[in-house]
Amino acid sequence: MLNHRSIEIAPSILSANFSCLGDQIQAVERGGAGVLHVDVMDGHFVPNITVGLPVVKSLAKFTRLPIDAHLMITQPGVYAAQFVEAGARMVSVHVEADAHLHRTAMSIKAAGAQAGVVLNPATPVIAIEEALQFVDYVLVMSVNPGFGGQQFIPQTLDKVRRLRQMIVERQLNVRIEIDGGVDRANIESVVAAGAEIIVAGSAIFGKPDAEAAVRELREATVQWV
Ligand code: DX5
Ligand code: ZN
């Protein structure tokens, strides 16, 4: 069941060198990245501030990779469709931040992108049981959102397995993305658990050769493809 899936590596630019972001993105393109993960933080939902709409707009014109905007902001419903207009092809919002998830997901889809819902480490899978029917992917946080370079929370593996089971039982076409603390040592276990879009920040941009780092992560997943 888990064989013959398409596994994509999604480098997170949070750990990139922003003074030469274009070069860094070209390196991960050469390494075989499938998606470019952009972490949007507002200093309210999470205790950090990163980038927003203008950066997504510039990057969308620059890269051939689909941009995956991970919104760690309060009131994501106000901004989600604007990220699609800026060029994001995937936009995810936290279930903890949005009381109107159905409306937000519909606004993302109506604008022409894939809609995702994100679960913090302490948020149970059951919180998105209804939402599974109207999203394209679920992003499971394997660290507390806000910062790159944190330790993978091991209980996440079982959470991904349970989510995978829920998706299979309901015969839904929903992909699982995982984000936080993924590296060469644990990537095989996250893929084995059922994740298909694998975000990695410091395991790619924290390395001297980002291109080689993406290639290595990809190669570690080939048995599942
Ligand atoms: C954390 C972000 C992640 C982060 C992952 O809030 O959502 O995307 O960049 O970084 P690593 O891979 O270093 O944990
Ligand atoms: Zn992220």
Predicted local confidence at residue 45, as pLDDT: 98
pTM over 0.85: yes
Q: 3-state DSSP helix/strand/coil percent for the chain, to nearest 5?
A: 45, 20, 35
Q: Is the CB of 15 under 6 A from ligand 1?
A: yes
Which of 45, 43, 15 has its CA nearest to residue 150?
A: 15
Predicted local confidence at residue 62, as pLDDT: 98
Which of 203, 183, 193 has its CA nearest to residue 155?
A: 193
Predicted local confidence at residue 4, as pLDDT: 63
Q: Is the CB of 14 under 6 A from ligand 1?
A: yes
- Tokens for 141, please give them: 């946080």
Beta pairing partners, 205: none
Q: Is the CB of 59 under 6 A from ligand 1?
A: no
Instruction: State CA 159 to chain mean position distance.
Output: 16
Query: Which residue out of 179, 187, 204 has the highest number of ligand 1 atoms within 8 Å of its CB and is therefore the one to mutate?
Result: 179
Predicted local confidence at residue 1, as pLDDT: 46
Please give the average pLDDT of every successive group of 10 residues along the chain, which has 225 residues: 77 98 98 98 98 98 98 98 98 98 98 98 98 98 98 98 98 98 98 98 98 98 81
- What is the CA(5)–ligand 1 centre distance, in A? 23
Predicted local confidence at residue 222, as pLDDT: 87
Q: Which ligand has its closest atom nearest to the C-alpha of 150?
A: 1
Which of 39, 98, 103, 26 has its CA nearest to residue 72?
A: 39
Q: Which ligand has its closest atom nearest to the C-alpha of 182?
A: 1
CB neighbours of residue 189 within 10 Å: 15
User: How far is residue 134's CA from residue 117's CA, in Å, rounded to a whole number?
Assistant: 10
Q: Which ligand has its closest atom nearest to the C-alpha of 13?
A: 1
User: How far is residue 92's CA from residue 82's CA, in Å, rounded to a whole number?
Assistant: 13
Q: Is the CB of 73 under 6 A from ligand 1?
A: no
Q: Is the CB of 142 under 6 A from ligand 1?
A: no
The owner of tokens 């298909």 is 196
